[in-house]
């Protein structure tokens, strides 16, 4: 994916680059917050897990920040809202409630502007779960 990202940057494919950053953020979010794998899966993938799990939350945040920066620059609000929501979920999982609330409220504002009802509902439910 990193090689693909370099090509996207070189070819000025900013939308695709931002989407790739969002996807990498989501992958790392799942690694950081997802269910624990079974012992057999852990044994088969011990190298990957040792290398990636301890830093997954930090990587997710960094990828989300890069994605947000590009989506803001090119004005893709729908995707920007999704990134804010995902970052809010990351902060929620890390018990950073104030930061989670800020990101989720920003996502809600964006989804309202875009009339993205399904995403708006999810964001509101996530916000309610913080209380």
Structural domain of 12: 2-130
- pLDDT for residue 41: 80
Can you tell me the mean pLDDT for 119-126? Answer: 96
Taken in order 113, 114, 115, 119, the sign of the CA dihedral is negative
How many independent structural domains does the chain possess?
1
- pLDDT, one tens digit per residue, over 47-91 is 877 787 889 999 999 999 999 999 999 999 999 999 999 999 999
Q: What is the pLDDT of residues 86-118, one digit of tens each?
A: 999 999 999 999 999 999 999 999 999 999 999
Given a contact cutoff of 8 angstroms between Cβ atoms, the answer to whether 56 and 31 are in contact is: yes
What CATH number is given to the structural domain containing 9? 1.25.40.10
Per-residue pLDDT band for 46 (boundaries 50, 70, 90) equals confident
Per the listing, tokens 């690694």 go with: 31
Q: What is the per-residue pLDDT for 123?
A: 96
d(CA 12, CA 51): 31
Q: What is the DSSP string of 16-73?
A: HHHHHHHHHHHHHHHHHHSPPPPHHHHHHTHHHHHHHGGGHHHHHHHHHHHHHHHHHH
């Amino acid at each position: 994916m990193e090689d693909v990202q370099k090509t996207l940057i070189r070819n000025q494919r900013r939308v695709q680059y931002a989407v790739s950053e969002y996807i990498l953020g989501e992958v790392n979010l799942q690694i950081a917050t997802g269910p624990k794998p079974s012992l057999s899966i852990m044994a088969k993938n011990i190298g990957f897990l040792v290398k990636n799990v301890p830093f997954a939350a930090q990587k997710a945040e960094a990828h989300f920040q890069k994605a947000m920066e590009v989506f803001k620059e090119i004005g893709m609000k729908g995707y920007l809202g999704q990134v804010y929501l995902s970052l809010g979920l990351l902060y929620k999982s890390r018990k950073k409630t104030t930061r989670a609330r800020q990101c989720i409220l920003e996502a809600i504002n964006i989804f309202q502007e875009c009339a993205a009802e399904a995403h708006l509902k999810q964001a509101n439910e996530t916000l309610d779960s913080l209380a």
